[in-house]
Structure 1
Amino acid sequence: MNNLQQQPGVLQTPGFAHYAVAWSPFHTTRLAVASAANFGLVGNGRLHLVSVNPTPGGPHRLNIDKQYETQDGLYDVAWSEIHENQLVTASGDGSLRLWDVMLNDLPIRVWQEHTREVFSVDWSNLKKDTFASSSWDGTVKLWNPDRPRSVLTLQAHHSCVYQALFSPHQPDLLSTCSTDGTVKIFDLRSPAYANSGPNNNNFTNPMSAAVLTIPASGTEVLSIDWNKYRPMVLASSGVDKHVKVWDCRMVKTGEVGQVGGICETQLLGHEYAVRKVQWSPHRPDVLATASYDMTCRIWTTTPVPGRPQLLHIHDPHTEFVVGCSWSLYEEGVLASCGWDGRVNVFRA
């Protein structure tokens, strides 16, 4: 395995387990971390804003700039794509909160439509006035930060939806993953989403027609990510410990619409469920994973004779690693977070 070129920068937040970490798309040194007390089982949450400052010849230095308290645990966070100081969080009480880092305490907007835990949020980098949330109530909702209610509801699955992500290539494509073992792709331009009358609207009548369903696993699929360079290529990971790469252009017509997706690659090595997968923003064949086996791993999907596809194992964490995020500006720099209350920033 490749060795780290430097020891990781570490931030410790006693009493709060981390669920997600995200780099700002506007500031090269700004991180957001979503956390929960008591491992997210019960109790309050906290949003941390962290500055990451490189030091000459040494590790990154991490400092908490600001933190916001919430009444329930936070499971995910996404930075706004239109406002450099705003970000949205997903909460265990079913709410979404929009924060402005220039304010010190309260969110600037709260939405309460989901009936169970909100487990993911994703801000579209193409339709920059839109973000999506997914929930254990089986729905995905689309939002505009200036509107008081959601603009669209998808009955994506009939079980917990762990993640919903916009395609970085086509603004109207959205992918989801669920406890039912499937990955689905929705086309928001589909006629299935058109209102059929004055009493039929997207708020009270959720739409549910996926354009593609991938039977990705016999167990729960916990995470997905679109490849940033190859349209219609997705990675998935989950309880089966496998990381799979799917070519979603290969489809066939089944009893319930388009079913398919060709599995290009399977990456094996994690000892427990893989909680997070994320493609590199700088290379089309490199991705990172975070797992309940307490490691964050870096892989290549390009097989080379004599070279393993597993490039690096990052294992300083002492509890479940549930989040990882590539720096958007500094190639090879990755942040990881876990239930041990640690955020690590390292270069692989």
Structure 2
Amino acid sequence: MLEFRTAGFNPYSVKYSPFFDSRIAVGAGANFGLVGNGRLFILNLTSNGIVCEKFFETQDCLFDITWSEQHENQLLTAGGDGSIKLFDIGVGEFPVAGWQEHSREVFSVHWNLINKATFLSSSWDGTIKIWTPECKESVTTLPVHSCVYSAQFSPHHPEIVTSVSRDSHLRVFDLRSKPSAQNHMTLAVPIHGPPKVPVVGYSSGSVGPTECLTHDWNKYRDSVLATAGVDGVIRTFDLRSPSGPVNFLTGHEYAVRKVSWSPHLSDVLLSASYDMTCRVWTDGSNDQGGQARELGRMDAHTEFAMGVDWCLFGAEGWCASCAWDERVLVWDVREFMRT
């Protein structure tokens, strides 16, 4: 396990470069993001461990980051001051572009993996905005009317956008549809609704709707997503049957801050939680009659685990995690999986 310390800054997000297996970006904020500056770290994995290639100072905490799909040295940041900034590793100390339309904190940014000329942002102001790097104004605004914690483009369809929010709904937008009263929204799935079929771990007397903080698309199955949030339960959904969750993954003791499906295995996902653990799960889809379950956990962090991301290259299993203990860890999931 490799370790890097973000001294004086508490990380919120960690992302592997889609171009280099040895480059990682980390977005962080001073004083746990409550007050003070932010910092963007560009880290390299070397034979001497993790070294900081470069860092950028920002005026407010960075809640999320995403690498450009167009340029290997560029990445976006989501700021607590409502700003989105584009940084270039090879250019100076300041952002090369910036956007400021959101009226509250920007909590997620995501680059379109298929139509690589667009990216999106979501905010506590209850909106999702679609952008192109060349324009100073957003191309489209999608009103959600609830604090949006996470939004993504589908990795399978360039015009499909999903989000999860404070009101415990998974929303699906199709930008190809004609603007209407629904503003391109085609589905709004209650995350805390009962499962369509009986599922182990579900109780009709369980806690009611709570905030949903994170979601991610399965990279191999174009209708499957995972969501998680304050109640500590990870739920998987199949949009072909959107009436309720397909699976419940239970075990985290506190809120789940991040989920990420494996880029190598269609049934495996990672999670990072306020219980200070990162856990690896299977939804059971690759086992005949298999059951969704926890496969293992990493508990080396000593504060809230905030972010986790898979390496796209090499053997499946390598990932990076970050936590409020001012540490970024690079580790092999397979070393923590139970036989």
* 2:306 corresponds to: 322
* 1:275 corresponds to: 257
The AA in structure 1 aligned to 2:11 is H
The AA in structure 2 aligned to 1:224 is H
Larger RCO (CA under 8 A, 6+ residues apart) = 1
2:3 equivalent to 1:18: no
Alpha-carbon distance in 1 for matches of 2:149, 2:73: 26
List runs of 5+ in structure 1 lacking aligned partners.
1-7, 194-205, 251-259
TM-score, normalised by the number of residues in structure 2: 0.90
2:294 equivalent to 1:310: yes
2:147 equivalent to 1:160: yes
* 1:203 corresponds to: none
Q: The residue matched to 1:263 in structure 2 has which SS?
A: coil
* 1:88 corresponds to: 76
Q: In the alignment, which of 203, 207, 210 is matched to residue 185 of structure 2?
A: 210
2:327 equivalent to 1:342: yes
The AA in structure 2 aligned to 1:175 is T
* 1:48 corresponds to: 41
Measure how far apart 1:159 and its partner are: 1.8
Alpha-carbon distance in 2 for matches of 1:241, 1:102: 40
Contact 2:37–2:58 under 8 Å retained in 1: yes
**Regions of 4+ moved over 6 Å:** 305-308
Measure how far apart 1:148 and its partner are: 1.3
Q: The residue matched to 2:179 in structure 1 has which SS?
A: helix
Q: In the alignment, which of 78, 99, 111 is matched to residue 111 of structure 1?
A: 99
Residues 30-41 of structure 1 correspond to what in structure 2 (within 5 A)?
30-41=23-34
1:24-55 C-alpha deviation (Å, 9 max, x unpaired): 111111100000001011111000000123x5
1:209-255 C-alpha deviation (Å, 9 max, x unpaired): 410111003110100000000011110000111000100112xxxxx
* 1:230 corresponds to: 221
Alpha-carbon distance in 2 for matches of 1:334, 1:86: 21
Q: Figure out how many residues of one structure are paired with residues of the other and give that number.
A: 314
List runs of 5+ in structure 2 lacking aligned partners.
193-208, 334-339
* 1:138 corresponds to: 126
2:38 equivalent to 1:63: no
2:161 equivalent to 1:174: yes
Contact 2:32–2:324 under 8 Å retained in 1: yes
Alpha-carbon distance in 2 for matches of 1:306, 1:180: 32
* 1:294 corresponds to: 276
Identity %: 50
* 2:230 corresponds to: 239
1:303-337 C-alpha deviation (Å, 9 max, x unpaired): 76898821111111111001000001132001000
